[in-house]
Structure formats: C-alpha cells, structure tokens
C-alpha cells in the first residue's frame, strides 16, 4: 500500500462514519425545524407506499432521545466496520439498509418503522458472526467487544417493549448473519510469520544462523569481512570452474 492509498484508507475510517452521522443529524434538524411530516416516510408494512421507507427510515427519528440513543452505537460500529472491513463496508451498509428494511416491511404487522437501529443491528450481528467465522484473534476480540458493549440489545429482537420496532431489530440481526455467511470468503486472515509457513525449514533459514541451539544470539563477523569471504568463495568457485573446463578441453584433445 503506497502513501496515497494509506492516506485514503486512514481518512475513510473516520471521515465516512462522521459523514453518515452528520446526514442523520441533518435530516433530524430538517425534521424538527422545517417539516416534521417527513416522519411519515418510514416503513409501512405490506403497503406499496411504505416501500419508500426502506431507504428513508434509517435517517428518520421520533425525538432527540431516539436519535441520541442510536448515534453512539451507529458511529462506533461504522468506525469499526471501516477499520476492519474497509473493502466491503459500503456493501454492508447499503445492502444492509435495503435488506433489513425490506424484511421489516415483510414481517411487521403494522405501524410506521423509523430509526437507524435496524442498521445498528445489521452491523452488530455482522461483526460478531464474522469474527467467529474468521478464527482470527483480532476479529474474535472485536466480536467479544461488540457483545460486551451491545450484548443486551439481543433482548430487543423480541416484543418486550411497546412502541419499539422489534421487527426492525430482528431483521437487522438476520441480515447481519446472512452477510457474515455471504462474505465469508473475504474474511481478513491473519498474517503468518516465516516460521509459521507449512513448508518452513529451519536449516534453510539464513536468519537462524544468528542463534545457537539454546536460542542465544551469535555475533557474526563484520559486514566487510563477510563480503570479502563471499568474494573469495566466488573467486575459488570461478577458478575451480575454469580448471574443470581446461581439464575437459585437454581430455577432448587427447581423445581426438
């Protein structure tokens, strides 16, 4: 990765989550200050006009408490998503909004479903199951951190609280698990050291000559002496090769 790519990667980790959060709050400001009626453009189950809410619902919120409760997990999880899964982050977010929203539209019975919590559940579910499938300690640690921070959210996929879209939460959970399975081939694999490779041979590793059998470091000759030794060996090899040619030529002349 060159410096330009590294700069873009570093920016995307923080900038994109901030942009997403900014858009959510900008829509809420418009809703409060200009047109509160846009809250009606949520997901309305089994209604054709409610299909528009699949795209718009994550950006709509009921009140300040609603958007505040969604903002922190939304920012933290998108930050982790772009850090650990940068190449597929936009796919998870974009497809996650569409698929979880459509599933909510299908399984919910009534109401107007709004809020970014469906997307939050997509990311929680995706990062948890993806880390387990990866079998990589960093991603498993991320999964455990997600559970530590947001594990209690699992209860809200059940109808335990009136006025809360448990169908949207359940849809997000199912969508995240589906993505973890679908993107399984793109699991970030841990880097292997040279001695962890299956074809590694300690005797062929030039690095191991710096250590004795007990693992103690051995001071080698200065670099100049090593270069002189290598040059001497090359000269001897060259001289030996020339002698072999001369012997072969002499033998050929005698044979002729």
pLDDT digits 0-9 by tens, 34-91? 998 999 999 999 999 999 999 999 999 999 999 999 999 999 999 999 998 998 999 9
pLDDT digits 0-9 by tens, 183-198? 876 555 545 555 555 5
Residue 41 belongs to a domain: yes
Residue 241 belongs to a domain: no
User: How many distinct structural domains can be found in the chain?
Assistant: 1
Residue 126 belongs to a domain: yes
Rg (alpha carbons) of the chain, rounded to whole number: 31
Question: Whole-prediction pTM value?
Answer: 0.70
Residue 53 belongs to a domain: yes
Residue 119 belongs to a domain: yes
Residue by residue, DSSP assigns 35-48 as -GGGGG-SB-TT-G
Question: CA–CA separation, 10 vs 14, rounded Å?
Answer: 7
* Beta-bridge partner residues of 43: 113
For residue 75, what are the contacts with CB-CB under 8 A and spacing of at least 6? 17, 18, 20, 21
Give the CA distances from residue 241 to residues 149, 246, 251, in Å, rounded to whole numbers and listed in that order. Answer: 71, 9, 15
- CATH number, residue 52: 1.20.1540.10
Residue 162 belongs to a domain: yes
Residue 212 belongs to a domain: no
| Full domain range(s) for residue 28 | 3-186
Q: How far is CA 253 from the centre of its chain?
A: 71
pLDDT digits 0-9 by tens, 142-166? 888 888 888 788 888 998 888 889 9
Asked if 127 contacts 84 with a C-beta cutoff of 8 angstroms, the reply is: yes
Residue 149 belongs to a domain: yes
């Amino acid at each position: 990765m060159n410096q330009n790519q590294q700069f873009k990667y570093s920016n995307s980790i923080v900038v994109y989550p901030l942009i997403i959060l900014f858009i959510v709050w900008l829509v809420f400001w418009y809703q409060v200050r200009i047109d509160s009626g846009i809250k009606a453009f949520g997901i309305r189950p089994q209604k054709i006009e409610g299909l528009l809410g699949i795209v718009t619902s994550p950006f709509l919120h009921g009140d300040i408490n609603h958007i505040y409760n969604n903002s922190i997990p939304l920012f933290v999880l998108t930050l982790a998503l772009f850090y650990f899964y940068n190449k597929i982050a936009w796919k998870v977010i974009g497809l996650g909004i569409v698929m979880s929203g459509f599933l909510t539209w299908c399984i919910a019975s009534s109401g107007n479903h709004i809020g970014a919590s469906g997307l939050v559940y997509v990311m929680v579910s995706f990062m948890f199951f993806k880390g387990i499938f990866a079998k990589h300690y960093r991603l498993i640690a991320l999964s455990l951190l997600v559970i530590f921070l947001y594990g209690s959210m699992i209860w809200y996929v059940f109808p335990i609280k009136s006025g809360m879209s448990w169908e949207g939460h359940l849809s997000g959970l199912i969508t995240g698990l589906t993505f973890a399975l679908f993107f399984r081939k793109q699991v970030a694999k841990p880097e292997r050291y040279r001695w962890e490779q299956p074809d590694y041979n300690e005797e062929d590793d030039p690095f191991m000559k710096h250590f004795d059998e007990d693992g103690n470091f051995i001071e080698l000759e200065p670099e100049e002496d090593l270069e002189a030794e290598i040059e001497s060996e090359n000269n001897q090899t060259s001289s030996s090769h020339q002698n072999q040619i001369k012997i072969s030529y002499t033998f050929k002349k005698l044979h002729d």
